[in-house]
Amino acid sequence: MQNFLPVTKQEMQQRGWDQVDFVYITGDAYVDHPSFGSAIISRLLESRGYRVGIIPQPDWRHKESIQTFGEPRLGFLVTAGNMDSMVNHYTVSRKHRQKDSYSPGGEMGLRPDMPTVVYSNLIRQTYKHTPIILGGIEASLRRLAHYDYWDNRVRRSVLMDSGADLISYGMGEHSILQIAEALQSGLPVEEITYIPGTVYKCKDLSRAFEPIVLPSYEEVSSNKHTYADSFAVQYRNTDPFTAKPLAESYGTRGYIIQNPPAHPLSQQEMDDVYDLPYTDTWHPMYNAKGGIPALEEIKFSLTSNRGCFGGCNFCALTFHQGRILQTRSHESILKEAIKMTKDPDFKGYIHDVGGPTADFRQPSCQKQLTKGVCQNRQCLFPKPCGNLQVDHTDYVSLLRKLRKVPGVKKVFIRSGVRFDYVVADKSPVFMQELVKYHISGQLRVAPEHVSDQVLHYMGKPSHQIYQTFLREYDKANEATGKKQYAVPYFMSSHPGCTIKDAVKLAEYVRDLGFTPEQVQDFYPTPSTLSTCMYYTGINPLDGKSVYVPKDPHEKAIQRALMQYKNPANRKLVLEGLQRAGRMELVGFGPKCLIRPEKKNSFSPGNKNSGSSRRPAHRTTIRNTHKKKTKK
């Protein structure tokens, strides 16, 4: 147990401590692995000599649950965990999920909705003046006024609702150490207003240096055009080199001030973070329940990079990790791989080598390291920038080294490659080695849609680029003598997607000859450009109107069209084809999606008898099942 940070007062005392410096409260179970933000931040503080106690998933119904260690000397650190709690708890249709992969045994109900708010208010009931610092993706993406899909309204900054003092947003390593140093020096938390990568409250603007004053919370919560304008300013101020402080007024309650983001980690700093003494497993207290499911997915995966210059509009990475690529050295990654092979559960397979985008191993252009990313241009969209450096050489070299590690049988790439970046590479080497060594039968890619109009609103390349990728992929497979497939990931009901676009996607699925097992509806999560479009019906970057499919019935139609072969979807598919004026797709031809409805000869009056091509034995089984159910 000494290998883990203390989770009980007894464990704290066994270390000879009478008090901890920081109490770290997290909505996730305690997993000491660098894929968990709480593990990185707590180990980083420990490496600087701070005493940290962990309270994972406290029972928010009882304030005693956050009093395990008593009052910390410097402050409370609070995070909802690796996921936004609302995404963790609810599907896009707002139904409760059945499993929480970040809880022991996948058990649901071990954390509240919005833990950052609930835990912080729980702390304030007992510790009135102890500093509270929020972190993690939930707090990061809710740092200013934001549209909340689950409440269907604009909510205030999480600082206002939680009673916390600061937010350490983004990846947090730089800012949390500066915050700790400031508190250690005796500086009152209300005076800590100067640290990049933080958000704080104040009564006026005197502490903010030349801030951009955003529309007030009252304005953005009552006017969608104003909300879109405010979001556009925030979107253009996410780069650490060019961003300005942002100030949002809350009337008599003062201002929320967002400092510019912290600078990205250097490669040496990244290496140092991943070289901390993680146990790489869950706390033993979870063994009886079978451990933590989320760890199983990533235990034998390697993080190669952070950040993403892909710029997908439905992704929150721009607001959280940023667009500047940060990478670990080959030596650091190989060291972790060798350590991995010593694990008794390791079977010789490295499941992934990547990050937000697997094949990004360098900034898109060198100027980003000194001047930042462009505020009004994307690196890959709508087409690759002329300054984009497309080069897979470093990634190929890393993969070759990993394949040679003793005990490693195969190295997979599963976090996804950016297909337009692969197409832009003039060298075929990466594609050749990808299909030869790093997939097994299937490569998952994310074209997201086939309509160029929808892809435009997604910030994704045109469908033609994806088709070019597929041709090159097939050519590489032929050269290696393998029969491997590209399995596309599609999204329905994204802003800009009409029923006609959904039918176009269904036709493409038909021509591929497969039916997606799962279909993802667009999920409006906080602080993405697509979510702003969903709420306002406006593209915030150009001010133009956007069609948004919000009606649940229309969303169901769009989803059903992708799974048109499912008999349960027939009625929805038929309605979708009627709305789109595409009734020629109802018939017996090879291009038709569904068959005409025909009356059952055994029940002439039954209008819902289904397709005449349904085998009689299936109908019998279905009817028998219904009778048994009634009994």
Does 60 map to a domain?
yes
Residue 595: per-residue pLDDT: 94
The DSSP secondary structure of 245-296, one letter per residue, reads -EEEE-GGG-EEEEPPPPPPPPHHHHHHHHTS----EE-GGGGGGT--HHHH
CB 360 within 8 Å of CB 423 = no
- The terminus-to-terminus CA distance of the chain in angstroms comes to 55
- Has 312 been labeled as part of a binding site? yes
Report pLDDT digits (tens) over 461-476. Answer: 999 999 999 999 999 9
Report pLDDT digits (tens) over 543-559. Answer: 999 999 999 999 999 99
Average pLDDT for 90-103? 96
**Integer angstrom CA distances of residue 104 from 30, 99, 278, 587:** 9, 10, 19, 51
Residue 416: per-residue pLDDT: 85
CA distance 243 to 232: 13
Does 36 map to a domain?
yes
Does 421 score more than 50 pLDDT? yes
Average pLDDT for 432-447? 93
pLDDT band at 599 (very low <50, low <70, confident <90, very high): low
Does 165 map to a domain?
yes
pLDDT band at 1 (very low <50, low <70, confident <90, very high): low
Report pLDDT digits (tens) over 38-82. Answer: 999 999 999 999 999 999 999 999 999 999 999 999 999 999 999
Q: What is the CA radius of gyration of the chain?
A: 26
CA distance 141 to 319: 7
- Has 592 been labeled as part of a binding site? no
Task: Provide the token pair at 375.
Answer: 């505020």
Report pLDDT digits (tens) over 403-413. Answer: 999 999 999 99
**Integer angstrom CA distances of residue 354 from 94, 252, 395, 473:** 31, 47, 9, 20
Does 608 score more than 70 pLDDT? no
Residue 440: per-residue pLDDT: 87
Please confirm whether the linkage preceding 382 is cis (ω < 30° from 0): yes
Does 442 map to a domain?
no
Report pLDDT digits (tens) over 222-272. Answer: 999 999 999 999 999 999 999 999 999 999 999 999 999 999 999 999 999
SS3 464: helix
**Integer angstrom CA distances of residue 524 from 191, 541, 547, 550:** 35, 18, 15, 11
pLDDT band at 617 (very low <50, low <70, confident <90, very high): very low
SS3 202: strand
Average pLDDT for 483-507? 96
How many domains does one find in the chain? 1
Residue 629: per-residue pLDDT: 41
Residue 293: per-residue pLDDT: 97
Residue 203: per-residue pLDDT: 96
Does 37 map to a domain?
yes
> Which residue in 607, 28, 546 sits closest to 293, CA to CA?
28
Does 480 map to a domain?
no
CA distance 146 to 320: 15
Domain of 58: which CATH number?
3.40.50.280
Residue 600: per-residue pLDDT: 54
- Has 497 been labeled as part of a binding site? no
Among 57-66, 243-252, 290-299, 366-375, the least confident range: 366-375
CA distance 410 to 425: 25
> Which residue in 429, 421, 404, 510 sits closest to 461, CA to CA?
421
Does 494 map to a domain?
no
pLDDT band at 141 (very low <50, low <70, confident <90, very high): very high
pLDDT band at 614 (very low <50, low <70, confident <90, very high): very low
Report pLDDT digits (tens) over 196-209. Answer: 999 999 999 999 99
pLDDT band at 33 (very low <50, low <70, confident <90, very high): very high
For the chain, give the mean pLDDT.
92
Domain housing 130? 9-199
pLDDT band at 377 (very low <50, low <70, confident <90, very high): confident
Does 519 map to a domain?
no
